[in-house]
Structure 1
Amino acid sequence: MDSCCQDLIQESTNTRLNQGHPCFSTGRHQKAGRIHLAVAPACNISCNYCVRKFDCANESRPGVTSKVLKPEEALQRVIEAKQSSMGQYLNVVGIAGPGDPLANPSTFKTLELVKEHFPELILCLSTNGLLLPEKIDDLVRIGVSHLTVTINAIDKATASAIYSYIRWKEHTYIGFDAAHILLQNQLEGVKLASQEGLTVKVNTVVIPGLNDAGIPDLAREVKRRGADLLNLMPLIPQAKFAHRVPPSHEQIQELRKQVAPILPQMTHCQQCRADAIGLV
Structure 2
Amino acid sequence: MTQACDMKRKIQGHPCFGGNHHKNGRMHLAVAPGCNIKCGYCTRRHDCANESRPGVTSRLLTPSEALVKVREVMASPVVGPIIKVIGIAGPGDPLANEETFETFELVKREFPHLMLCMSTNGLLLPESIDRLHELGLHSLTVTINAIDAGVGAWIYRHVIYHGRSYSGVEGAAILIANQFEGLKRAARLGMTIKVNTVLIPGINEDQIPLIAARVKELGAFVMNIMPLIPQADLAHIQRPSEEHLAQVRKANEGIIGQFSHCKQCRADAIGLIGSDMTIGQPACMAPPA
TM-score, with length taken from structure 1: 0.95
Structure 2 partner of 1:22: 15
Matched, 1:160 2:141: no
Matched, 1:51 2:35: no
Q: 1:94 aligns with which of 80, 87, 98?
A: 87
Gaps of 5+ in 1: 1-6
User: How far apart are 1:201 and its partner, in Å?
Assistant: 0.2
Amino acid at match of 1:16: K
Structure 2 partner of 1:103: 96
**Share of identical aligned residues, percent?**
55
- Secondary structure at the counterpart of residue 65 of structure 1: coil
Structure 2 partner of 1:263: 256
CA separation in 2, counterparts of 1:178 and 1:8? Answer: 40
Q: 2:202 aligns with which of 206, 209, 219?
A: 209
Structure 2 partner of 1:120: 113
CA separation in 2, counterparts of 1:16 and 1:265? Answer: 17
Q: 1:77 aligns with which of 69, 86, 105?
A: 69
CA separation in 2, counterparts of 1:174 and 1:274? Answer: 26
CA separation in 1, counterparts of 2:251 and 2:225? Answer: 12
CA separation in 1, counterparts of 2:257 and 2:8? Answer: 9
CA separation in 2, counterparts of 1:54 and 1:32? Answer: 27
Aligned length: 272
CA separation in 2, counterparts of 1:137 and 1:214? Answer: 29
User: How far apart are 1:10 and its partner, in Å?
Assistant: 4.0
Matched ranges for 1:123-142 at <5 A: 123-142=116-135
Matched, 1:65 2:61: no
Q: 1:226 aligns with which of 204, 207, 219?
A: 219
Amino acid at match of 2:81: Q
Amino acid at match of 1:52: R
Structure 2 partner of 1:252: 245
- Secondary structure at the counterpart of residue 237 of structure 1: coil
TM-score, with length taken from structure 2: 0.92
User: How far apart are 1:132 and its partner, in Å?
Assistant: 0.2
CA separation in 2, counterparts of 1:80 and 1:70? Answer: 15
Structure 1 partner of 2:234: 241
Q: Residue deviations 1:29-51, cap 9 Å, x none?
A: 11111100000000000000000
CA separation in 1, counterparts of 2:87 and 2:258? Answer: 20
User: How far apart are 1:9 and its partner, in Å?
Assistant: 4.0
Amino acid at match of 1:207: I
Q: Residue deviations 1:128-162, cap 9 Å, x none?
A: 00000000011001000100000001011110100
Q: Residue deviations 1:47-95, cap 9 Å, x none?
A: 0000000111100000000111000000000000001121111111000
CA separation in 1, counterparts of 2:83 and 2:63? Answer: 19
CA separation in 2, counterparts of 1:252 and 1:162? Answer: 19
Amino acid at match of 1:45: I
Change (3 A) 1:13 1:258: farther
CA separation in 2, counterparts of 1:65 and 1:224? Answer: 35
